[in-house]
A = this chain, B = another copy of it.
Amino acid sequence: MGGDRGVEAVIGGINHSLSRNNRLKFLIHGNQSQLYKKIKYFPKISSASSIIPCDSVVAMDEKPSTALRSGKNSSMWSSLNSLARGNAHIALSCGNTGALMAMSMMQLRKAPGVNRPAIAILWPSTNQRGFNIVLDAGADVKADSDDLLQYALMGAAYAKTGFSIKIPRIGLLNVGTDIHKGRNELHAASLLIADAQKTSESFEFVGYVEGGDLPSSKVDVIVTDGFTGNVALKTGEGTASLIKHFLKESFNKSLMSKLGSILSLSSLKELNKKIDPRNVNGGIFLGLNGVVIKSHGGADEIGVAAAINLAFQLEDTGFSQKLMTQFAKN
């Protein structure tokens, strides 16, 4: 029910996913009549899903504490409940991130040994895989050095189990790569992570990285606090939109360049796909007893389908179980 585009995008995304993957099943939580009105036109959805009726919706701008107090009949709470009770393998929402994290923590509880859960996102990059893992992208606006160490371990585990990266390279986001740069908690965290590498040998700590390294191939996982991560994420998206806007403007300036853009259409489409944030949509909540995926609030059906696809991939490889084992090892 949540997200900026509401039911439309979610149902469209489900339909899109089902047309490519018939192993998916859905429990759709929300206003029954509203959902039914949309679903009835899609026979594929009807046969692969059940509607779980819910009275209310958590608003996109609702304070997490308010949502926790008064949102027990909401579609968000209900979807997390079906995960907590074992009726679903993964919960997915386009809704209010803060509320989703608060409700997830209440219903799923933190995994053993985890202090602060984090949101890990996929960041388009130049490496072969096409993306890097960045966390925390906004679960918490603060992180001390111990939290940053834990993000490094969780990120490494996610990279190993979710994407089969054998020895993930971990970088700590800072304003420079020199040892004396940045805030105190980063100095402390870099020592902790370097220490952890020595004992576990399951990842490689490459030290400090900068904003320009987020899309680089010199690192697989970038660790930062949720405030910085969220600003970086939105800055990256904003920059990509700006360039697309300028590119469009440029191509429309003369007949010659219009013709040029037509000849280059397939290349431009491919470019668009590579930088389209919808194709790497889906932030995963790490550090809980259960897998919750947060789709971008503004995601359309393509974006929702990408998040569903990520959920399927993870579950199909036994991600939750493997992740728990990895955490325990570190």
Contacts and interface: CB of A to CB of B under 8 A. Distances in A.
A115 interface: no
Nearest to A248: B271
B254 A266 contact: yes
B264 A257 contact: yes
A185 to B, nearest CB: 11
Contact of A243 (B182, B238, B240, B257): B240
A183 B227 contact: yes
Nearest to A249: B271
Nearest to A177: B61
A250 B263 contact: no
Contacts of A254: 266-267
Interface in A252-289: 253-254, 256-257, 259-268, 270-271, 274-275
Nearest to A270: B250
Contacts of A213: 238
Contact of A214 (B180, B238, B261): B238
A147 B297 CA distance: 32
B212 A238 contact: yes
Contacts of A232: 211, 231-232, 235
A325 interface: no
A228 interface: yes
Interface in A13-40: none
A239 B215 contact: yes
B211 A238 contact: yes
A138 interface: yes
Contact of A235 (B236, B243, B247, B266): B236
Nearest to A240: B239
B257 A263 contact: yes
A265 B234 CA distance: 30
A4 to B, nearest CB: 13
Contacts of A256: 263-264, 266
Contact of A234 (B63, B126, B210, B233): B210
A190 to B, nearest CB: 14
A251 interface: yes
A67 to B, nearest CB: 12
A281 to B, nearest CB: 15
B240 A211 contact: no
7 contacts: A125-B242, A142-B183, A214-B238, A216-B238, A250-B264, A250-B271, A256-B266
Interface of A: 61, 63, 124-126, 138, 141-142, 173, 175, 178, 180, 182-183, 210-216, 224, 226-228, 230-243, 245-247, 250-251, 253-254, 256-257, 259-268, 270-271, 274-275
Closest 10 CB pairs of A and B: A211-B234, A260-B263, A260-B264, A212-B238, A211-B235, A257-B267, A250-B267, A239-B239, A175-B230, A257-B264
